[in-house]
Structure 1
Amino acid sequence: MFRNVFVSLALLVAAGCSTVPITGRRQLSLVSDQEVMTMSFQAYDDLMKKSKLSSNATQTAMVKRVGQRIQGAVESFMRQQGASEQLAGYQWEFNLIDDASQQNAFAMAGGKTAVYTGLLPITQNETGLAVVMGHEIAHAIAKHSNERISQQMAAQGVGSSLGALGGGTSAQIINTAYGIGAGVGLMKFGRTQESEADRLGLIFMAMAGYNPEGAVSFWQRMAAASNGQSPPEFLSTHPSNETRISDIQKNMPEAKKYYNAR
């Protein structure tokens, strides 16, 4: 019986794969994009109702402007690649949440994006903000949330439906995946996904007219803001700040090819 379950799961995993844009990495995908987006939209709307949006018109406009420019870059890139269908069902939205205690941002499947005001002192300017939003939107474009949920499904040996994971309503499942409700508005991705989002984010911000070299100084400021509290890399699911900066510098020549200053 165990062998039959193992074989069935192996066949399911083999069939449920997709490819990440630009990097070409094969990833596990056991649930439909539409199902993940529907749940993300519900969770995002719920979060926006519970959150206090910033009343700072200048900062809010900057978040929306950066988001829209990166959205345009993503749509242009996918169109050039003949892959616009991968953005079907997207409902782009960019909001600034008034919470100085959170140095976070996220972009859910389907383009629903939010930045916390606590991050703005570290981004410092529009380019710094583009680093963060490009990175978070890259997670969505690379379908990392779908991949993470699929990995959980495979680990639990469940079928191709999110409902099989249990854990309550769709909103609760997606909230758990993104860490929402625990005071952390970030999907908890692994090292491979984080590094991939860094690379894609550089390209998207460059295409949007932001100098990708700003990513190095941003992550240096982020490292300084952590006050040495980050765990050693081998204990963390994220690359260390030093590794991240080194990898970004290696990817800089590629990103610069897409850069057209505005």
Structure 2
Amino acid sequence: MAGRERWLEVAGRRVRYREAGGGVVVVVVVPGLGLSCDFYRAAYAALATAGLRVLVPDLPGFGKSAGPRLGLTVEQTARWLLAFAGALGLGRAAWIGHSLGAQPAMQLAADHPARARALVLAAPTGAPARRRLLRQASGLVLDIGREPLALVPAVAREYLRTTPWAYLGTWLKAARHDPADTARRIRCPTLLVRGRGDPIVRPDFLELLRQRIPDAHVRAVPGGAHSLVFRRPEEFYALVVEFLRVHGRD
């Protein structure tokens, strides 16, 4: 299932997103750096089948959405996500942030608790603060060897259709954001998920987030690397559906 492609104007710019399902509970997936809504096909199938309404936007400057040349900060992206939800008339939503997309999802939940019924952070980036860029870059190199061969060129094509300035600018700006500090202000139920083979996101970072978020739950997906949402979609989305069944409803 690919989800229905739709277009919307948010903050004066054209935005593409995909949508599937029609349940009362809305789930918004925030893509990882440089990835478009086309990459999250497993989310449409798994979440819509579970009776949830799922939306995945192309973030500003990525995919087919217009955006600033040098990308947005984490805080700006969080405000943009809020505007995106507002333009669609969404109230409280469950937010799934993947990789770097976890940082603006966390920021939104912390800044606007009334708009987040639940939060899922899949392979969340952002730590440790010292040598963060070096560790992420070296982890990315290691991760390439752990991903399915078919995934690597597909991701490369996504990155190539994004300007290098938007990609690099967004990455550098995200490195200045401290998600561990943001975590202290999150009040909604939160699921933290990591692939056990992820060389970018370390177990101690998830444990740090678990300690700082009052209602946090940690799960690990065996055999999953950084792209666990693509490599182990059945296991990952089964965790998400079960979590939202318990924590994502009024």
Q: TM-score range by the shorter chain?
A: under 0.3
Report the TM-score when normalising by structure 2: 0.27
Q: Which of 1 and 2 has greater Rg?
A: 1
Structure holding more helix per residue: 1
Report the TM-score when normalising by structure 1: 0.26
Structure holding more strand per residue: 2
